[in-house]
Structure formats: structure tokens, C-alpha cells
Amino acid sequence: MLGVRCILLCLHRTAQYRYPIGLERVLTRSLSRTPDSSRAALKLRTRLGVTLLVGAGLVGAWWWVEREKQQRRRRQRVEQLHAVALGQGTFSLLDHTGHRRTKQDFLGRWVLLYFGFTHCPDICPDELDKLSAVVSALDRDPALPRLQPLFITVDPERDDVAALARYVRDFHPRLVGLTGTPEEVQHAGRDFRVYASAGPKDEDGDYMVDHSVLLYLVSPDGLFLDYYNRTKSPEQIADSIRNHIRNHVPLEIGAVLCDGWVGELAQLDRQNRAHQLESASVLKRSVARCVLSSVRHMESTLSSRPAALSTSTE
């Protein structure tokens, strides 16, 4: 809206623009040799032409700046995500209903992810309560997309499908619990650099699992964006996620499904740069045709109403 207002203001000022003295003298001499009606028509056409050209130039400049800004933010995100190297892989796990779920199933959705285990006495329930509060807070804003909560166990030995099904019922209704073989779970955790280590078993065969305590935000592209530790309140996390959603620049979803996604994005970026030059040329030709059509239309209108123009100039 700010860009549109600036363009309208510039067009208004252009319509009131006084030409430089030299140019005004030339126009005055030319106009003095023509009848009043033709003089008024020429003067009006000149102002209209200048106004249209300046307006078209401002629109083109605004479009170019916005495209460049978006491309620059896209390149910065690619570089940042490549440097972090977090959450760039894939996973294949069983959900709490027994269905096989992969990373592709959650593409296109914002995901808030937590790693824990169902036998955790206090920390995991507290963090999942916090996760649920964040999701519920964002659900109250109809302008925001729905956030998908995920819970991946770090204790596949005890957390089977049935255990997860009982556990997730205590939290947000959209919470999806995921488990799998020890290898599958370790692969998913390693992708997010999750630390998990089972402690010694007691006489009842029970044990604790020491693990990292973080909430991970994953974008609709399937890429890690941010993390939140235990010191962050639900309100702080919700505000952070709102900002991420509002400032999000989508990447090519298909590019994140393989190890070479950064290279593919770089190639797409080079292609976009080439398309920008072509698009700018097309825009210039379209603006020129629009200006020419408008001037011709004005000439036709003015030539059919000479009497009205001469009356207005008097």
C-alpha cells in the first residue's frame, strides 16, 4: 500500500509540474502558432504523456526493486540454511495410528517439532503443554496458516504405536506422534542434532533418557528455521513464529527432497536472474504500447470536441 500511495503522489505532482524555462519557451512558441483549441489539445497531450511516462517508470522501478529484494532474501535464506545444516534430510516413521509418514507428508505446512519420550516424568509433558499452547494461540488468528505439531520419540524401545496413541491424547488434538525402529529414530534425530542417551535400567527394567530439550520450527519448504529452548514462554514462541510466517519467502519444495537442494536452488536463482532481464524488456514494451494507446485515445477524444476545449481555455 505504501508503494501505491507513493506512485499516486508522484503522478499528482507530475500533473502539476512546471516545465524548465527553456522547454516552456519552446512549447510556448510552438503553441503560439496554433489555434486555441489545438494549443490546448497539444498542451494537454504533453502533460498526459509526461504523466503516463513518469507513472510507468515508477511502476517499473517499484516492480524491479521488489523482485530484487525478494531474490536477495531468497539467496540469504539459502546461505543461512546451508550454514546451519539442520533438518535438511528426510525421515520415514510410523505415526500413532500405525501409518507410515515421511517428510514429504508435511511439506506445505508449518511444523513445530519436539523430540522426547512418553515415560518422561515432567520435562516432556511441560514442553508439549507449551507446544500445545503455542499452536492454540496461533489458531486464534484466522489470517495465519494452521501449525502442525509433531512429537518424535527418542525411546523407540518402549514408545511403540500404541504407547504414542495413548500419550498424544493428553495434548493438542492435532499432535502427531512418530516412532520407528531405533535406526529410523536415530536418523531423524541426527538430522536435527538431537542428543539422546538412555541411562542405566533399575530393578524393574525402567530407565530415563537424557536428551536435548528444544522446539524446532520447520517451514512449509521442509527446512529448519528456528528453535526455542525451555526459557522461551508460549507468548514469545508464538510471536516469533508469527514473524517467521509473515516474512517467509517460499523456496522450491521439490529441491529440499535430495541432498543437492542447495545446488538446485542456486541454479534456479540463476535462471530467475535471466528471466528478470527478459521480463523487464517485456514490461517496457507493454508500457510503451499502453502510453501510445492512451495518447491516441486522447487525440481522438480531443479532435471530436474542439469547441468544448476552446471554451475551457477562455
pLDDT computed for residue 124 by the predictor: 97
pLDDT in tens, 51-66: 777 777 777 777 777 7
Q: What is the pTM of this model?
A: 0.59
User: Domain spans of the chain?
Assistant: 54-88+260-304, 92-258
Q: Which three cell numbers stand for residue 119?
A: 515415560
pLDDT computed for residue 99 by the predictor: 98
- Ligand-binding annotation for 290, yes or no, is no
The C-alpha atoms of residue 178 and residue 134 are separated, in whole angstroms, by 20
The C-alpha atoms of residue 111 and residue 146 are separated, in whole angstroms, by 9
Phi/psi class of residue 217: alpha, beta or left (left: φ > 0; alpha: ψ in -120 to 50)?
Answer: beta
Burial class from Cβ neighbours inside 10 Å (0-12, 13-18, 19+) for residue 69 reads: exposed
- Secondary structure (3-state) at 92: strand
H helix or E strand, kind and range, residue 307: helix 306-313
pLDDT computed for residue 287 by the predictor: 52
The C-alpha atoms of residue 146 and residue 165 are separated, in whole angstroms, by 22
The low-confidence residues of the chain, meaning pLDDT below 50, are 2, 4, 8, 11, 14-15, 17, 19, 23, 26-27, 31, 253-266, 268, 306-314
Provide CB contacts within 8 A for 275, sequence distance 6+.
none
Helices H, strands E: what count in the chain?
9, 9
pLDDT computed for residue 73 by the predictor: 67
Tally the residues of the chain: 314
pLDDT computed for residue 62 by the predictor: 78
Check the CA dihedral 306-308-313-314 and report its sign. Answer: positive
Provide CB contacts within 8 A for 23, sequence distance 6+.
none
Check the CA dihedral 140-142-143-148 and report its sign. Answer: positive
pLDDT in tens, 102-120: 999 999 999 999 999 999 9
- Ligand-binding annotation for 211, yes or no, is yes
Task: Write the single-letter amino acid at 3.
Answer: G
163 touches 126 (CB < 8 A): no
pLDDT computed for residue 283 by the predictor: 53
The C-alpha atoms of residue 165 and residue 175 are separated, in whole angstroms, by 10
- Ligand-binding annotation for 124, yes or no, is yes
pLDDT in tens, 125-135: 999 999 999 99
Yes or no: domain 92-258 corresponds to CATH 3.40.50.300: no
State the greatest distance between any 2 C-alpha atoms of the chain, in Å, as a whole number. Answer: 111
217 touches 111 (CB < 8 A): yes
